[in-house]
C-alpha cells in the first residue's frame, strides 16, 4: 500500500512540460540561452519579457515549430525533440497564437472544428456533420462559461477577447494537457483583457497546465503561479508567486537597476545660481 501511494505522489510531481537549460541559436545569433521552466497540471506559468527577450523562440520550441540546440525538453518525464506542431498536438500541447489564424468569414462552429471536422455517411454520400458541430461547439463554449447566442455568426464579428476565448475552449475540448498562449491580452482593452484572463483561469481550473506569454506583469500576477523572466534570450529570474510581490516582479520586468540609472541620467540639472550683482 505504501509503494502505491509513493508511485501516485511521484507521478503527480512530474511536470507536464519541462525545459532544462534549453538554448537556440540561429547562426551567430543567440535567441535563447540556458532557459528552464516547468509546467504543472492546474498551474499557470507566466513567461515575461520585452520584445526581443526570446519569448517567440520559446513558443516555437514548445509548439514543435523549431528544435532546441542544447538542453533538455521533457513532456511528462520523457525527453523529446518535436519535429512539427502536429507532434506537439499529439503529445497534448496546444498553442494559441496572438493572430489566432481564424477564418473570419466562417461561422464560429466551423472555426472551432477547423481541420478536425466530423463527417457522416459514406462514399459519395459522405458529408460534414454540421448539426453535431453546432451543438458540440455551443456545449463546449458553455462548459467554459462562454454563452454565445449564435454559433452560426462569422467569427470575425466577435471581439478580440471573445475570439481568444473560443480558441481556449477549442483547445480544452480537443484534449490539450498544456495550453500555450501567445500574448492573449496584448491588443485588448482592460475589460476584454479581464474576460480573457477569466478563461485562462478556467483552463487552469480544468486541470490544464498553462504557459502564458506576456509583457504585462499585472496580468501575469493576477493569474500566474510561476514566473519566468527573459531578457535578451537569457533567464533574468524565476519565481513562485509566494516568493515575489507584484512590485518586485514589475521592477525586475522593467529592468529596475537600468531604470534607476536612466532616471539619474535624465534628472534635470539644477538651474545655475544668479551671479552676484545681477
Q: Tell me the pTM.
A: 0.82
Q: How confident is the model at residue 143 (pLDDT cuts 50, 70, 90)?
A: confident
pLDDT in tens, 89-137: 999 999 998 777 788 899 999 999 988 889 998 888 899 999 999 999 9
The more confidently predicted of residues 51 and 278 is 51
Residue 263 is predicted with a pLDDT of 59
- Residues 18, 32: Cα–Cα separation, whole Å: 15
DSSP secondary structure string, 96-125?
E-TTTT--TTSBHHHHHTTT---EES-GGG
C-alpha cell at 106: 466562417
In contact, 146 and 169? CB cutoff 8 Å: yes
Residue 275 is predicted with a pLDDT of 57
The more confidently predicted of residues 275 and 249 is 249
Q: How confident is the model at residue 224 (pLDDT cuts 50, 70, 90)?
A: very high
Q: How confident is the model at residue 274 (pLDDT cuts 50, 70, 90)?
A: low
Residue 50 is predicted with a pLDDT of 86
Could you give the angle at the alpha carbon of 54 between the alpha carbons of 90 and 102, nearest 5°?
A: 50
pLDDT at 256 over 60: no
User: Domains in the chain, please, with CATH?
Assistant: 13-265 (3.40.50.300)
CA atoms within 13 A on the CB side of 42: 6
Q: How confident is the model at residue 261 (pLDDT cuts 50, 70, 90)?
A: low
Residue whose entry in the numeric block shows the C-alpha cell 502564458: 212
Amino acid at each position: 500500500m505504501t509503494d502505491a501511494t509513493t508511485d501516485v505522489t511521484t507521478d503527480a510531481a512530474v511536470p507536464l512540460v519541462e525545459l532544462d537549460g534549453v538554448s537556440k541559436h540561429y547562426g551567430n545569433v543567440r535567441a535563447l540561452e540556458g532557459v528552464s521552466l516547468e509546467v504543472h497540471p492546474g498551474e499557470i506559468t507566466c513567461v515575461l519579457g520585452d520584445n526581443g527577450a526570446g519569448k517567440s523562440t520559446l513558443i516555437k520550441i514548445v509548439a514543435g515549430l523549431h528544435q532546441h540546440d542544447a538542453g533538455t525538453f521533457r513532456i511528462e518525464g520523457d525527453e523529446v525533440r518535436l519535429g512539427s506542431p502536429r507532434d506537439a498536438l499529439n503529445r497534448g500541447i496546444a498553442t494559441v497564437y496572438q493572430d489566432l489564424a481564424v477564418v473570419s468569414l466562417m461561422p464560429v462552429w466551423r472555426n472551432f472544428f477547423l481541420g478536425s471536422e466530423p463527417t457522416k455517411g459514406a462514399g459519395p454520400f459522405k458529408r460534414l456533420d454540421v448539426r453535431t458541430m453546432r451543438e458540440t461547439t455551443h456545449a463546449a463554449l458553455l462548459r467554459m462559461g462562454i454563452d454565445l447566442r449564435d454559433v452560426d455568426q462569422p467569427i470575425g464579428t466577435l471581439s478580440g477577447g471573445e475570439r481568444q476565448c473560443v480558441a481556449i475552449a477549442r483547445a480544452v475540448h480537443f484534449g490539450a494537457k498544456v495550453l500555450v498562449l501567445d500574448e492573449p491580452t496584448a491588443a485588448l482593452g482592460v475589460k476584454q483583457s479581464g474576460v480573457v484572463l477569466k478563461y485562462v483561469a478556467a483552463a487552469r481550473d480544468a486541470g490544464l497546465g498553462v504557459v502564458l506569454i506576456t509583457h504585462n506583469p499585472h496580468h501575469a500576477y493576477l493569474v500566474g503561479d510561476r514566473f519566468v523572466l527573459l531578457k535578451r534570450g537569457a533567464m533574468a529570474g524565476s519565481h513562485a508567486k509566494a516568493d515575489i510581490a507584484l512590485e518586485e516582479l514589475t521592477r525586475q520586468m522593467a529592468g529596475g537597476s537600468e531604470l534607476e540609472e536612466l532616471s539619474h541620467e535624465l534628472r534635470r540639472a539644477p538651474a545655475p545660481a544668479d551671479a552676484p550683482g545681477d
